[in-house]
Amino acid sequence: MTRRFERFGPTGAKAETALTTYLRDRRRQSGGDTLTPDSKVSDLLDDWLRNADDGSRRPQTLTDYRSAVDGHIKPGIGQVRIREATVGTIDRFLRGIKGDGIRKRTRTVLSLAFGYAARLDLVAANPVRDTTTVRKRSNGVEVPKLADVHRYRAAIVEWSGANRMGKPRGQGLVEVVDVVLGTGLRPGEVLALRVQDVDVDAGTLTVAGTVVGSERQPTPKTRKGHRTVKLPAFVVEAIRRRLEDPVVELTGLVFPSATGTVRSRANLDRQLREARPDDLADVTLRSLRRLAATTVDRALGVEAASQQLGHSGTAVTERHYIDRPDVGPEVADVLGKLAPPIE
């Protein structure tokens, strides 16, 4: 369909420029009445998030998206117009974010949102693609010493229930530590355990969900996350102690909150920080997962460690969870040929 447009100016050249500018901006306004190139980045993010929740993404993924949007992007460049969000503007914003992991996640979310804007013809091209790529620096995998882990656990035992007033604090806290240490489960997977997921007689538990925020999701973090693992004796005893708690029987959750609801990861981490000695700040649930993975790797290999942790492949396990020095190839005999002659 052919349409006729006209614009005016004091000279022919200026009228032509006005018409060209109008046609360019009109082409970019096909996103509908709600979004135009003059809309704010915050409006773009809200519209993109509404369309991102199409059932194909996991709830925890959408939670991460919203966290990046509300915690970093909106406070930083939310009031910028879409047409003003140039490569340089976005790159300067990203460079100002502390933490490689947070910066990388924020860049990913921005790229998805401006890809959506490009599909609506609000921008000529996705400006995020040309910003500086974020590469997380790796300082190696640090695994805590077993003596420090035992001291960490003893401190949690002492802290739990030690308050003189109110309800006993830290219910099930040491058992969470035991399960993470003895299985390598993610903390969210531990908090999502139900009574029906554990079999103390067989010495097994099945990972069938995870906790995101304060809600239990019916699927683990990854496809490989749905798994059944064998339990060492000290973990079986920890589970057995939890099953004796009346709140567990009432809620069906192995590690419920003090009020009988789903225990949030934030509340769990807060209690662990309060109970942990100051000189053991590096001992965390994540580091306990690394210790479990490294222990399995040294005994049974990286494949077994990856399966135990519920990873989709061994790359993540090797890069982030196993403390293993690189071993050179078997070249001693070859290099032996370079030995100096015997005098």
CA distance 299 to 287: 19
The pLDDT of residue 31: 46
The pLDDT of residue 317: 83
Using an 8 Å Cβ cutoff, are 229 and 306 in contact? no
N residues, the chain: 343
Where, residue-wise, is CATH 1.10.443.10 in the chain? Answer: 146-320
The answer to which of 68-77, 106-115, 134-143, 146-155 has the lowest mean pLDDT is 134-143
The answer to which of 125-139, 147-161, 188-202, 238-252 has the lowest mean pLDDT is 125-139
In percent, the amount of the chain with pLDDT more than 70 equals: 89
What token pair was written down for 274?
């309060």
Identify the band that residue 141 occupies on the pLDDT scale cut at 50, 70 and 90.
Answer: confident
pLDDT for 1-45, tens place per residue? Answer: 677 888 888 998 988 998 888 777 665 554 445 788 889 999 999
Q: How many CA within 13 A on the CB side of residue 82?
A: 30
Nearest to 265 by CA among 194, 189, 213: 213
Q: Between these two residues, 139 and 21, which has the higher pLDDT value? A: 21
Using an 8 Å Cβ cutoff, are 53 and 88 in contact? no
Report CA 161 to chain centroid distance, whole Å.
31
pLDDT for 64-96, tens place per residue? Answer: 889 899 999 999 999 999 999 999 999 999 999
pTM: 0.70
Identify the band that residue 244 occupies on the pLDDT scale cut at 50, 70 and 90.
Answer: very high
CA distance 15 to 21: 10
CA distance 107 to 110: 5
The answer to which of 104-108, 122-126, 135-139, 233-237 has the lowest mean pLDDT is 135-139
Would you identify the CATH topology of the domain 146-320? Answer: hpI Integrase; Chain A (1.10.443)
Would you identify the CATH topology of the domain 31-130? Answer: DNA polymerase; domain 1 (1.10.150)
Residue 169 has pLDDT above 90, yes or no: no
Identify the band that residue 214 occupies on the pLDDT scale cut at 50, 70 and 90.
Answer: confident
Using CA atoms, how far residue 6 sits from 10, 23, 210, 223, 264, in Å, is 14, 10, 59, 57, 61
Where, residue-wise, is CATH 1.10.150.130 in the chain? Answer: 31-130
**Average predicted confidence (pLDDT) for the chain:** 86
- The H-assigned helical ranges of 71-217 are 74-77, 87-95, 100-119, 146-159, 173-183, 187-191
pLDDT for 189-202, tens place per residue? Answer: 999 999 999 999 99
